[in-house]
Structure 1
């Protein structure tokens, strides 16, 4: 699905939900090379303030990319920048609900700024902002 720049409005949003599995964490570690034992070793993680393994923060942040590249704006979107603050841990078994909301539109450059937020239930686990170039009809 693609929404063209001309279809976008301030306040428009898209959402994506994903339950984090052990396999997700293991595959992300393999692909990214981030083998921090906080994510992979239960015994190690039990001795940390989190008391259990947690998912990679960038795995959570990747759900923003999922929305931008497949839903809002969608196919053909060019990701320019992203900022994010990690607010709380995501654990295996948690369902992460991500929302990206259009906050500004630059019609000259076809750029879109979006507020990004990931939640587990009522807890914000990530918040930030993304800047993209949206596909255009013109």
Structure 2
């Protein structure tokens, strides 16, 4: 993990970074179900899942969100903090054995109405599978300090 100071003015619209990959395992399913209490049969019952269109268990969307966001945590910017996520969508199912990565694109820069010394940067986060298909999308909003003048 590295630290890099990037002020609001330095973010470039359209710039993209891609994380490393992470293969989803059965252990991920079990641990996430245990943490959340979500033992829905679509995630945990292999026999039931055979009746689903994909014929196999589907990863918890919240797990893919958590792992996808975690993959982006390789860069620490001490003049920015997370304001939250908007527009979260589970686009395609993820299965055991799929490998996911996250593509982060700077999608918007706006003034922050509450903090004149900062701005809002929107990162479009797209979790993609090994076939480069988007499986999850969300907008991450950062509050980022402006350069002091």
TM-score range, shorter chain: 0.7 to 0.9
1:129 match: 139
Q: Which has the larger radius of gyration?
A: 2
1:2 match: 3
Q: Give, in angstroms, the shift of residue 75 of structure 1.
A: 9.1
Distance 1:64 1:137, change over 3 A: farther
1:90 match: 94
Q: Give, in angstroms, the shift of residue 8 of structure 1.
A: 2.6
Aligned length: 138
- SS of 1:9 mapped into structure 2: coil
Contact 2:68 2:101 in 1 (8 A): no
Contact 1:3 1:135 in 2 (8 A): no
Give the aligned CA root-mean-square deviation in angstroms.
2.6
Q: Which structure is higher in helix share?
A: 1
1:110 match: 119
TM-score, structure 2 as length reference: 0.76
Unaligned runs of 5+ in 1: none
Q: Give, in angstroms, the shift of residue 56 of structure 1.
A: 0.8
Please state if 1:40 is matched with 2:40.
no
TM-score, structure 1 as length reference: 0.81
Unaligned runs of 5+ in 2: none
CA distance in 2, matches of 1:49, 1:21: 20
